[in-house]
Structures are given as C-alpha cells and as structure tokens.
C-alpha cells in the first residue's frame, strides 16, 4: 500500500517545482511536516464530506477511523515548529548523534530525532553480566565381560574410588564421553553359560544332532504327485473323441482345476485335513488304471529315515559356547565411564530499565575471564570489578560447586563433580537520556560498547510518515473505490498504522504486534 501511496495521484504535498526525489528529502525535515499537515487537513475535510453522506455499517466504522486520524492531526499541529537544536557540549552532541543513529536504523522512530529533540538530562551507568560455566564430570565404574583370549593379565591392583584414578586430562568446557580401562583389575571367571566346558548344546537342533524331515514330517513317504495320492489315474486311451472346442474347454477347465487342486494339496501337506473341492476323481469320468509312479499313492522321501542331520553342528549335538568363544572362561574388565555436561548460569548485576533479554545480546566489555582453579574469596576483589559484582560471582561459583542436585549420590563406584569452572564478567555501559519531543516527555537508553551501541525504549515519538500514511491510505480507499461500497474486511486490516495508540508515540507492545 505504501508504494502505491508514494506515487498516489492525489498526493500534493510537494512544493511547486519539486519532484518526488526532492520530496523524499523534505520528509527528512520536520519543518515540512506543517506543510504536509495542511495538505492532510484538506484531505480529511474531503473524506469527511464523502463519508458523511453514507450511512452503512462499514461507513460508520470508516467515519470513526477518519475521526481518529483527524484527532491525531489536530494534536500533531499543536506541536511547536521544529528547528534544529544546537548542542551545548560534546556529550550532548554525542547523545544527539546516537539518537539520530537510532532513528536511522529504526523506521518507526521520528526522523532525525537527535537533531530536533530537546535533551532534558542524561546519566550514565553500567550493568554487569556474570556468566559462570561449569563442566560437570560424571564417573562410574563399569564391568565389561568378554570371552577370555588368553591375553596377559598384568599385576593385580586394588580397586580405588572412582575419583582416585588419574585419568587422561580433558580440556575445554564441552567434552565428549569417554571410557578408560583400568589395568590390573581383570578377573578371569568360568563361563556360566557352558559351565566352563566351552561347549553348549546346539541351538538349531536343540542338542539332538538331527531334526524331523520337513518334507515328509518324519513319515519317510510323501504323496505321489502323478496321481495326487489316489494310486490310480484315468485310462485316457478309453476316452471317446470329442469335438475340438469341447476338448479345448475341458483342457482349460482341467488346467485351472489342477492349479486350484495343487493349492489345496499344498495346504493339506501342511497338515490341515481339508477336502479338495475341485479335484474331480478320474474314476467319475470312466475307466482307470493303477498309477505307474507309486505304490498306493505314496513314494519314498529323499530323507530315507524321516530325519535330517543338523547342518549347524553336523550331528555333533554341541557347538562352541558363544559367550566364551569355547574357552570356558570369561574375562571381566573394569572401566571408568566419564560423561561431561556443561551448565551455564547468567546473572545481571546492576539495575536498568533495559530488559535482560536485550542485555543478553550485548557484547559488552569482557573485563574478567578465568578458570576457577581454587576457591574464590569475596574479599579478594580483582582490580576493575565492582564489589557487588564480585560478591555475586563468588556466591554463584560457590553455590554451583556444591550443587546438591549434582553431587547427590557420590560413592566409591560413581559420582559427579565440577571438573572445570570458567567465570566471565562483562561490563555493559549504558546511557539514559530524558528528552522532549512534540510536547511530550520520553526516555531512551543506549547500551553496549562504543561502535556497537544498541537502543532501547518502551515508548518513543513515531515517525510522522506513519500517521501521514494512515491518512493517505484512508483517503485512497475512500476516493478511488467510492464511499458507497467499502471493501468489507479491508477497513481494519488495510491500515497498517495502528490508530488506537497515542499519536507520535509507539510503545514496545505496538512494536511486537507489527
Ligand atoms: Zn561358555
Ligand atoms: Zn502315484
Ligand atoms: Zn523325509
Ligand atoms: Zn545341531
């Protein structure tokens, strides 16, 4: 909407002879606001005339919006004519520069705020961010069993509490988990799976050395496939000659039936005693002869005796025990498993109206950074650190070192201890500026180090363009689409400028709603 609006045909705020490009510069100068305002006044009059003729619900709502905008314009015109202020000190000049920086990077803030605001007062202060990082190490003794391999045992040593072992040093606050095998603590014990024999019953054949033949289920005979177990077949020679098509049809039926019959045979072979509904007995069709391939419908199975030799143990009934690889022995190693986790604590010392989440993004000035290798003393304040900041840090470090939640279950076989602590103290300077703009009092904060200043304010003068844009948006809608038929739903959502907040002022909430 704003782009259209910039080039809107109805826009006539430019002074004669100026083009749009110059106009852009005009907007940077609040002196032009008066000129813009009178233009908007005229527009509002136009709009009012148009709107008043309508009476629909939507028009009533529009009237309210226009009325509100008009009210803002009225208030805007009560603001004194803006003239650039002259700084009276180097500090004030710096503050004005910063305010201009702020309005340059935040399009919601009045343009060139630093040039036109009245600086009432300013004060500087600082907050400190205390960051304590603690690397917690958890050690636990674990027993790992493995098949005995005959490897050297080493000299036997006594088992010590987990923290008495000197383990490889770990550097850095973040460290991966690791394991260390302890020398001289291996036990060689008998394998309980095989009772120390190294042998175990073959699992495939359950120690029999053989299994029942799956083809004949141990019966040594299987059904003859030629006669489907009947023992006789049709005597085809006897068959009368049939017309070609009848023969074709019968052949087809026979082949389908045979396939179905095979399926049922398969099911019966699995041991399910079901009759075969499509297997028509050849005896029903005519003469039969004994099956040439079998005796009484059965043939010998290839297994011969109903059993098959177990392929896993080749009939030996036992195999090597998998637990001990056949050695009959297990070696138990002792290992210390180490895990590390990092806890980061932040605390802001000092008061300011700047929310902590904003301060967290500040870089600040790192004044103190050290690995805490010994107990900190509240009285031994390092140079350049305020006493209360140091005291807070000492308390924080102390509380974390004896963290009961972490140290809860310390015993000779396991425990958790702080194995590295790093303390960082960061100074974040800030300046609080009281100023007036358009007959209203405001405050803004500049924080963080030089060259990386950040700004915070919970309310500030809004950029004039925003109100202007609102009025233009309303007028464009009203004058181009006509007051008769306002687009439903567009009235409220179309105007991006919030009209319910006081003019010239934006609050933090407003910013979040955008
Ligand atoms: Zn074993
Ligand atoms: Zn047969
Ligand atoms: Zn068999
Ligand atoms: Zn076997």
| pLDDT 10s digits, 18-61 | 333 433 443 444 444 555 566 667 777 776 666 666 556 666 66
User: Distance from the CA of 270 to the center of ligand 3, in angstroms?
Assistant: 14
The average pLDDT across 207-218 equals 92
Burial class (CB in 10 A: 0-12, 13-18, 19+), 442: buried
Two tokens at 403?
Answer: 């963290």
Compare 24 and 283 and report the one with higher pLDDT: 283
387-to-131, 384, 390, 401 alpha-carbon distances in Å? 16, 9, 5, 21
Note the pLDDT of residue 409: 72
Residue where the block lists tokens 């070192």: 401
**Residue 233 CA, ligand 2 centroid: distance in Å:** 8
Confidence at 117, pLDDT banded by 50, 70, 90:
very high
Tell me the pLDDT band of 81, cut-offs 50, 70 and 90.
low
Q: CA-CA distance, 27 to 36, in Å (whole number)?
A: 9
Give phi and psi for 395, each to the nearest 5: -60, -45
- Give the mean model confidence (pLDDT) for residues 314-318: 91
Q: How far, rounded to the nearest angstrom, does the alpha carbon of residue 50 sit from its chain's CA centroid?
A: 53
Angle (CA) 137-138-140 rounded to 5° is 145
Considering every ligand atom shown, identify the ligand nearest to the alpha carbon of residue 222 and give its number: 3
Distance, CA 299 to ligand 3 centroid (Å)? 10
Lowest mean pLDDT among 177-191, 196-210, 372-386: 372-386
> Per-residue pLDDT for 294 more than 80?
yes
Distance of CA 392 to the CA centre of its chain: 34
Other beta carbons within 10 Å of 12: 10
Ligand nearest the Cα atom of residue 296: 2
Q: Which ligand has its closest atom nearest to the C-alpha of 226?
A: 2
Q: Report the b/e string of 289-299 with b at 16+ CB within 10 A.
A: eebeebeebbb
Q: Tell me how far the alpha carbon of residue 261 lies from the centroid of ligand 3, in angstroms.
A: 23
CA atoms within 13 A on the CB side of 89: 6
Average the pLDDT over 100-113 and give the result. Answer: 88
Q: What percent of the chain has pLDDT over 90?
A: 36
Distance 222 CA to ligand 2 centre (A): 10
Name the region of 73 (left: φ>0; alpha: ψ -120 to 50; beta: rest): alpha
Rounded percentage of the chain residues whose pLDDT exceeds 70: 69
pLDDT score recorded for residue 267 = 73
Considering every ligand atom shown, identify the ligand nearest to the alpha carbon of residue 224 and give its number.
Answer: 2
**Residue 163 DSSP SS3:** helix
- Cα 177 to Cα 167: distance, rounded to the nearest angstrom: 13
Render pLDDT for 452-495 as a digit per residue (tens, 0 to 9): 999 999 888 877 666 666 666 666 666 554 444 444 443 443 44
Residue 11 half-sphere exposure, CB side, CA atoms within 13 Å? 19
In the three-class reduction of DSSP (H, G, I as helix; E, B as strand; rest coil), residue 387 is classed as helix
Ligand at minimal distance from the CA of 302 is: 3
The bound ligand whose nearest atom lies closest to the alpha carbon of 231 is 2
Helices marked H in 424-482 = 464-481
Q: Is 235 helix (H, G, I), strand (E, B) or coil?
A: coil
Cα–Cα distance, 341 to 241 (Å, whole number): 92
pLDDT of residue 58: 63
pTM of the model: 0.56
pLDDT at residue number 79: 47
Q: Is 422 helix (H, G, I), strand (E, B) or coil?
A: strand
Angstrom CA distances, 164 to 287, 301, 403, stand at 97, 71, 21
CB 154 within 8 A of CB 324: no
Closest CA to 456 of 339, 354, 356, 388: 354
The least confident of 102-106, 110-114, 239-243 is: 239-243
> How far, in Å, is the centroid of ligand 1 from the Cα of 323?
5
Query: With 50 as the cut, is the pLDDT of residue 496 above it?
Result: no
Per the CB < 8 A criterion, the answer to whether 136 and 417 are in contact is yes
Cα–Cα distance measured from residue 284 to residue 296, given in angstroms and rounded to the nearest whole number: 19
The predicted structure's pLDDT at residue 226: 85
| DSSP run (H or E) holding 398 | helix 387-401
- pLDDT tens digits for range 158-192: 889 999 999 998 888 889 999 999 988 888 999 99
> What's the CA-to-centroid distance between 201 and ligand 4, angstroms?
8
pLDDT digits (tens, 9 = 90+) for 393-437: 999 988 888 777 777 677 888 989 888 899 999 999 999 999 998
Query: In the predicted model, what is the mean pLDDT of residues 226-245?
Result: 73
The string over 483-512, giving b where at least 16 C-beta atoms fall within 10 Å of a residue's C-beta and e elsewhere, is: beebeeeebeeebebebebebbbbbeeeee
Q: How far is the CA of 192 from the centre of ligand 1 (A)?
A: 6
Provide the 10 A C-beta neighbour count for residue 171.
Answer: 6
| 292 CA → ligand 2 middle, Å | 6
pLDDT of residue 51: 63
Q: Where are the alpha helices (DSSP H) in 167-319?
A: 244-269
CB-CB neighbours of 213 under 10 Å? 19
Residue 15 has pLDDT above 70, yes or no: no
* Residues 341 and 114: beta-carbon distance below 8 Å: no
Residue 74: its H or E element: helix 57-78
Lowest mean pLDDT among 125-139, 331-345, 378-392, 495-509: 495-509
Nearest ligand atom owner, CA of 282: 2
Average pLDDT, the chain: 78
């Amino acid at each position: 909407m704003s782009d259209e609006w910039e080039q809107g045909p109805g826009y006539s705020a430019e002074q004669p002879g100026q083009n749009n490009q110059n106009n852009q510069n005009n907007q940077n100068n609040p002196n032009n606001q008066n000129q813009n305002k009178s233009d908007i006044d005229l527009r509002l009059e136009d709009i009012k005339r148009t709107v008043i003729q309508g009476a629909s619900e939507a028009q009533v709502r529009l009237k309210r919006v226009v009325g509100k905008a008009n009210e803002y314009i009225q208030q805007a015109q009560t603001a004194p004519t803006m003239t650039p202020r002259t700084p009276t000190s180097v500090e004030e000049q710096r503050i004005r520069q910063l305010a201009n920086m702020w309005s340059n990077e935040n399009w919601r803030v009045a343009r060139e705020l630093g040039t036109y605001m009245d600086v009432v007062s300013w004060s500087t202060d600082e907050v400190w961010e205390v960051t304590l990082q603690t690397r917690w190490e958890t050690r636990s003794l674990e027993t790992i069993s493995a098949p005995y391999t005959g490897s050297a045992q080493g000299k036997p040593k006594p088992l010590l509490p987990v923290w008495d072992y000197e383990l490889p040093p770990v550097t850095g606050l973040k460290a991966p988990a690791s394991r260390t095998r302890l020398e001289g603590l291996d036990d060689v014990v008998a394998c309980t799976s095989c009772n120390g024999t190294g042998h175990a019953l073959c699992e495939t054949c359950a120690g029999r050395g053989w299994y029942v033949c799956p083809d004949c289920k141990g019966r040594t005979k299987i059904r003859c496939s030629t006669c489907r177990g009947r023992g006789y077949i049709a005597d085809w020679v006897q068959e009368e000659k049939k017309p070609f098509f009848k023969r074709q049809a019968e052949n087809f039926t026979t082949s389908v039936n045979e396939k179905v019959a095979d399926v049922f045979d398969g099911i019966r072979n699995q041991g399910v005693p079901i009759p075969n509904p499509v297997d028509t007995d050849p005896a029903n069709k005519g003469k039969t002869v004994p099956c040439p391939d079998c005796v009484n419908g059965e043939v010998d199975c290839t297994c011969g005796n109903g059993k098959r030799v177990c392929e896993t143990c080749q009939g030996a009934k036992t195999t090597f025990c998998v637990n001990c690889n056949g050695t009959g022995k297990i070696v138990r190693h002792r290992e210390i498993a180490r895990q590390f986790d990092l806890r980061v604590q932040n605390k802001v010392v000092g008061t300011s109206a700047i929310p902590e989440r904003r301060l967290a993004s500040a870089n600040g000035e790192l004044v103190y950074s050290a690995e805490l290798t010994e107990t900190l003393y509240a009285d031994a304040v390092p140079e350049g650190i305020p006493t209360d900041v140091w005291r807070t840090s000492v308390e924080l470090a102390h509380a974390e070192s004896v963290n009961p939640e972490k140290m809860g279950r310390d015993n000779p076989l396991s425990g958790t201890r702080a194995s590295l602590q790093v303390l960082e103290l960061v100074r974040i300077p800030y300046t609080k500026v009281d100023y007036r703009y358009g007959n209203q009092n405001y405050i803004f904060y500049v924080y963080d180090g030089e060259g990386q200043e950040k700004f915070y304010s919970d309310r500030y003068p809004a950029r004039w363009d925003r109100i202007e844009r609102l009025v233009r948006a309303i007028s464009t809608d009203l004058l181009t689409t006509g007051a008769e038929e306002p687009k439903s739903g567009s009235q409220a959502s179309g105007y991006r400028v919030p009209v319910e907040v006081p003019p010239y002022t934006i609050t933090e909430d407003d910013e979040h709603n955008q």
